[in-house]
Amino acid sequence: MKILMLTPYLPYPLLSGGQIRTYNLLKKLAKKHEITLFALIKNQEEKQYIPELEKFCKKVKVFQRSEKPFTIKNILKALFSTYPFLVIRNYVPETIDAIKDELSKEKYDLLHAETFYMMPHLPENNIPTIMVEQTIEYLGYESYAKKAHPLLKLLLETDIKKIRKWERHYWKACDKLIVMSDDDKKFISKQIKDENKIDVVANGVDSAWFEEIPRKLQKNPTILSVGTFNWLPNIEAVDFLVQKIWPYIKKLSPISKLWIVGNAPTKKVISYGEQDPQIDVLGRIPDIRTAFKEAHVLLAPVFSGKGTRYKILEAMASGTPVVASKIAVEGLDIEHGKHVLVSNSAQDLAKFTIQLTQDKKLWDKLSINGKKFVTENFDWKEISKKLDMIYKEIGNKGINYEK
């Protein structure tokens, strides 16, 4: 089957959850399908990674969007457009012309758009279209707006209305909507009144890859925080961790260390490491496996956004016990006390974290159960099979389309 895939990022290097997901699915699906990738990039340096993706794609074309999102041009466009800022910052008109040209030359069986904000690039056509919602965008922004300055809150609320409008529009417009969890499916099906058009294809992990690195725990109790910082829920999580949980942890275990890992840390996040010698803001690291294998616990106090969290799955695949908020493990169908330790209380999260650094029996239990659970339920091999079935189901319906 011939598939044209659109992504708002180049799926390599693996710096974000979206990149990890797309890259691993491309690797698996390329064995069964002929995939052409059209991707947005922020700068020309990213072109060096195209050869890695050409291993799995028939061809790869890239289109440059603005390197920095908050340019005056983008802000003004968003203010006077029916589209939200999220669409404007990822909108590259040349992509539309390139897709039109591609569809005029080649007969595709299926169009695959990652995120709703890639959908405006699709010209009018009658090819079956799959849209993937890695997270429900407007919910994440709503949570952030509640805590924002009144003036910023007003601007955000206006933009969030636009996000909600267009997100729902494209949920209905696509032929098949793919979401990350059953909870996301239930939420969206209530909005569009069409549960049958929604399928769950969860995020996954390469379990064998995480096994390649040996365990080498740090001498001092080391707590790990992971998350790319261009996603608001991750910034909120680190703020809550440092400001609310960390003081309790230091009281319970004064020798503990905190590692903050993730691409593009903000100035505020960097300042946490400058103000406290027990906090190391490592930012982007060469191999995320080393952090998981050397830390005692992953601490994930996430309170907004939807979708499954790579940090949780990757920690479990690494055998690193997880302490998390309820929403951080939402949709994973895992049990408190068996696979992870869960609470929304800062004091409890601190207590659970230190308990794991001191109770080897509990640490071993969560480590073993977590790894087994992820290997059986969230390995990319099994997840790609489900997407392959959807490709065949939706693609075959339109295989005799006429241009």
The answer on 269 and 146 residing in a single domain is no
Query: Residue ranges of the chain with pLDDT lower than 50?
Result: 399-403
358, 326, 364: which is closest to 342 by C-alpha? 326
191 touches 168 (CB < 8 A)? yes
The answer on 264 and 249 residing in a single domain is yes
The answer on 170 and 219 residing in a single domain is no
CB neighbour class for 43 (10 Å; exposed up to 12, middle 13-18, buried from 19): exposed
Q: Is residue 402 part of a domain?
A: no
The answer on 270 and 330 residing in a single domain is yes
195 touches 185 (CB < 8 A)? yes
Local structure of 392: helix, strand or coil: helix
CB neighbour class for 315 (10 Å; exposed up to 12, middle 13-18, buried from 19): buried
- DSSP, res 332: S
Predicted confidence at residue 391, as pLDDT, reads 93
**Residue 337 one-letter amino acid:** G
The whole-angstrom separation of Cα 302 and Cα 313 is 14
pTM of the model: 0.82
Cβ density class 54-72: b for 16+ within 10 Å, e for less: eebbeebebbebbeeeeee
The answer on 154 and 33 residing in a single domain is yes
- The neighbouring-strand residues paired with 205 are 379
Q: Is residue 338 part of a domain?
A: yes
Q: Is residue 152 part of a domain?
A: yes
307 touches 134 (CB < 8 A)? yes
The answer on 263 and 155 residing in a single domain is no
The count of structural domains within the chain is 2
Structure tokens, 390: 């959807």
Helix spans in 80-148 (H): 85-88, 93-105, 137-146
The answer on 232 and 121 residing in a single domain is no
The answer on 220 and 309 residing in a single domain is yes
CA atoms within 13 A on the CB side of 326: 4
The answer on 190 and 99 residing in a single domain is yes
User: For 258, phi and psi rounded to 5 degrees?
Assistant: -125, 125
The whole-angstrom separation of Cα 315 and Cα 317 is 5
Please give the order of strands across the beta sheet that includes 198-200.
59-64, 34-41, 2-7, 110-114, 129-133, 176-179, 198-200
Please give the order of strands across the beta sheet that includes 322-324.
279-283, 257-261, 222-226, 297-300, 322-324, 341-342
CB neighbour class for 361 (10 Å; exposed up to 12, middle 13-18, buried from 19): exposed
CATH code, domain with 313: 3.40.50.2000
Domain range for 291: 207-377
